[in-house]
Chain A
Amino acid sequence: MKLTNPQLQSRLAAEYVLGSMSIRARRRFTDYLVMAQHRALRDQVAIWERFMTPLTEQLPSVTPSARVWQRIESAIFGGKTPASTRVFGQNAVKTPANKGLLQSFAFWRNLGLGASSLAAVLLVVLLVGNIFRASADPMLMAVLENDGIARIVVEQPKSGVLMVKMIKPWKPAPDNSMQLWVISSSGEPRSLGIVNELGETKFATGDMDVKLADGLVLALSREPRGGSPTGQPTGRILCKGPIAKMPPKQKPRPQI
């Protein structure tokens, strides 16, 4: 669908701002919005936001609890975030424009290393270990989980290659792609590529080892079809997990 008709643009922008769109319609609309070529649509949204949003001023004020500010501060400036109490903790980064948050190292560190200890991850690796039969001695492993449920397993069987396997196939979303990211110790996400929702994906690129060298966490995000338009994660994080690097295998000592 091409949104070139100005009347249609205005109508959809109005319904988006009003908030009456269904889940699916809203998601598709948001995808259009994040793409630069839909400048006209963004302008329409801005116009309608300017129209409609002042209506909220007639609502009587309600004071939020003091803990909100503490959480805002720790989310931005670091420190301990009481993340476990969040109802929507996993989806804190859903909006496309949350780039700053996605890039902050504190955020990624909490995301990847907060809840799950390496030991727990390795246990899961043992439990799902039979998913990968090809490589006996992976260089790197990660189990990406969401709410404590392991969703995908990633391993690097050899230099330059990365294997991604869904533990259970994901519900296909025709308008979206799932993109795998590696987050470096400086908190910078780098794309590893688009993952096949239904089964196994093999990445083999020349710069794979370079991308992974400084990697701490792997994360899978939902992106517009074909991948993030910005080169940074824009959609919500579906699952994530810390990277476990295996010690290089000891070469058998030459027999004398």
Chain B
Amino acid sequence: MNTTEPIAPSQLADLLSRTALGDRQAFAALYEASKSKLFVVALRIVRERQIAEEVLQDSFVKIWHHAADYATAKSAPLTWMSAIVRNRSLDIVRRPNMEIADDEDYFAVNMPDESPAPPDQLAAKRDEAQIERCMKNLEGEQHKAIAMAFFQGLSHTEVAARLKKPLGTVKTHIRRGLLKLKDCLDGHINDRQPEAGA
């Protein structure tokens, strides 16, 4: 497991704002500081290194051209960049030729071999984000379905097939789980300040 020191959000925000001004050195530093964190996000969803590399490439091309937009985003820099990587990854796994009906095969092949860190180790690693606390409040089935969709980029149908549950049941779990998350997070969001200004 890679144990790269996390870079401070304020530093990343600074690199992003310099990138917005066309500073290539800042852009290179931004890439170095975030590539490993962002790569795993893509890898979990698209499951193949080569495709994950393309996702990372496309995402950074986008980050270069849209770095100025970060100034108006209210999220932490890594969150903003992760969202770009996630969206690109999801766009790829939601392509018709990537959604494979045979789930067994789909999950058997090309799974990245990096296993996730044990949960207790993660919890000790750093302060928990609010979302992690809220996720823990979810019931087992809701938690499982939402985590599968989020981390592995699985659709409702794919989650249902994997959990061997009817589609309707899984949709309900996800919907109720998201409502619960929203309730849990609402107070948090209303008084939340941007974590780092540009």
Q: Does residue A115 face the partner (Cβ distance < 8 Å to B)?
A: no
Closest partner residue, chain B, to A76 (CB atom): B64
Q: Does residue B57 face the partner (Cβ distance < 8 Å to A)?
A: yes
Q: In whole angstroms, what is the CA distance A71 to B64 when docked? A: 13
Q: Is the beta-carbon distance between B129 and A14 smaller than 8 angstroms?
A: no
Given the complex, which residues of B lie within 8 Å of A11, measured CB to CB? 175, 178-179
Q: Does residue B151 face the partner (Cβ distance < 8 Å to A)?
A: yes
Q: Is the beta-carbon distance between B116 and A14 smaller than 8 angstroms?
A: no
Given contacts A56-B82, A58-B122, A63-B39, contact A71 B156 (CB under 8 A): no
Q: In whole angstroms, what is the CA distance A22 to B74 when docked? A: 28
Closest partner residue, chain B, to A92 (CB atom): B58
Given the complex, which residues of A lie within 8 Å of B91, measured CB to CB? 26, 94-95
Closest partner residue, chain B, to A171 (CB atom): B96
Given the complex, which residues of A lie within 8 Å of B94, measured CB to CB? 21-23, 26-27
Closest partner residue, chain B, to A65 (CB atom): B53
Q: Is the beta-carbon distance between B2 and A63 smaller than 8 angstroms?
A: yes
Q: Is the beta-carbon distance between A19 and B150 smaller than 8 angstroms?
A: yes
Given the complex, which residues of B lie within 8 Å of A72, measured CB to CB? 31, 57, 60-61, 64
Q: Does residue A110 face the partner (Cβ distance < 8 Å to B)?
A: no
Q: Does residue B1 face the partner (Cβ distance < 8 Å to A)?
A: yes
The total of chain B residues at the interface (CB under 8 A) is 80
- Stretch of A98-106, A203-211, A212-220 that contacts chain B: A98-106
Given contacts A15-B174, A62-B43, contact A46 B73 (CB under 8 A): yes
User: Could you list 13 examples of A-B contacts with CB < 8 Å?
Assistant: A11-B179, A14-B181, A19-B153, A20-B149, A23-B99, A50-B192, A59-B40, A60-B1, A61-B40, A63-B36, A75-B57, A75-B61, A92-B54
Q: In whole angstroms, what is the CA distance A50 to B192 when docked? A: 10
Smallest Cβ distance from A71 to chain B, in angstroms?
5
Q: Is the beta-carbon distance between A20 and B155 smaller than 8 angstroms?
A: yes
Q: Does residue B137 face the partner (Cβ distance < 8 Å to A)?
A: no
Q: Is the beta-carbon distance between A97 and B83 smaller than 8 angstroms?
A: no
How many residue pairs, one in A and one in B, have C-beta atoms under 8 Å apart?
Answer: 196
Q: Is the beta-carbon distance between B61 and A76 smaller than 8 angstroms?
A: yes
Closest partner residue, chain A, to B175 (CB atom): A11
Residues 69-102 of A at the B interface (beta carbon under 8 Å): 69, 71-72, 75-77, 86-89, 91-92, 94-95, 97-101
Given the complex, which residues of B lie within 8 Å of A77, measured CB to CB? 24
B interface, CB within 8 angstroms of A: 1-4, 24, 28, 31, 35-37, 39-41, 43-45, 48-54, 56-58, 60-62, 64-66, 73-76, 78-79, 82-83, 86-88, 90-92, 94-96, 99, 112, 114, 116-117, 122, 125, 129-132, 135, 146, 149-151, 153-157, 159, 174-175, 178-179, 181-182, 185, 189, 192
Smallest Cβ distance from B182 to chain A, in angstroms?
7
8 Å CB contact of A95 from B1, B41, B87: B87
Q: Is the beta-carbon distance between A20 and B159 smaller than 8 angstroms?
A: yes
Given the complex, which residues of A lie within 8 Å of B86, measured CB to CB? 17, 19, 53, 56
Q: In whole angstroms, what is the CA distance A71 to B50 when docked? A: 13
Q: Does residue A68 face the partner (Cβ distance < 8 Å to B)?
A: yes
Q: In whole angstroms, what is the CA distance A99 to B192 when docked? A: 31
Q: Is the beta-carbon distance between A55 and B54 smaller than 8 angstroms?
A: no
Q: Is the beta-carbon distance between A98 and B53 smaller than 8 angstroms?
A: no
Residues 1-21 of A at the B interface (beta carbon under 8 Å): 10-11, 14-15, 17-21
Q: Is the beta-carbon distance between B174 and A20 smaller than 8 angstroms?
A: yes
8 Å CB contact of B174 from A18, A50, A75: A18
Given the complex, which residues of A lie within 8 Å of B157, measured CB to CB? 22
Contact with B along A38-72 (1 / 0, CB 8 A): 00000000110111111111111111110111011
Given contacts A20-B159, A62-B112, A76-B64, contact A50 B57 (CB under 8 A): no
Smallest Cβ distance from A233 to chain B, in angstroms?
14
Q: In whole angstroms, what is the CA distance A58 to B128 when docked? A: 9
Q: Is the beta-carbon distance between A26 and B35 smaller than 8 angstroms?
A: no
Q: In whole angstroms, what is the CA distance A19 to B99 when docked? A: 13
Q: Is the beta-carbon distance between B79 and A101 smaller than 8 angstroms?
A: no
Smallest Cβ distance from B149 to chain A, in angstroms?
4
Closest partner residue, chain B, to A58 (CB atom): B122
Q: Is the beta-carbon distance between A53 and B82 smaller than 8 angstroms?
A: yes
Q: Is the beta-carbon distance between A87 and B88 smaller than 8 angstroms?
A: no
Q: Is the beta-carbon distance between A52 and B37 smaller than 8 angstroms?
A: no
Q: Is the beta-carbon distance between B75 and A49 smaller than 8 angstroms?
A: yes
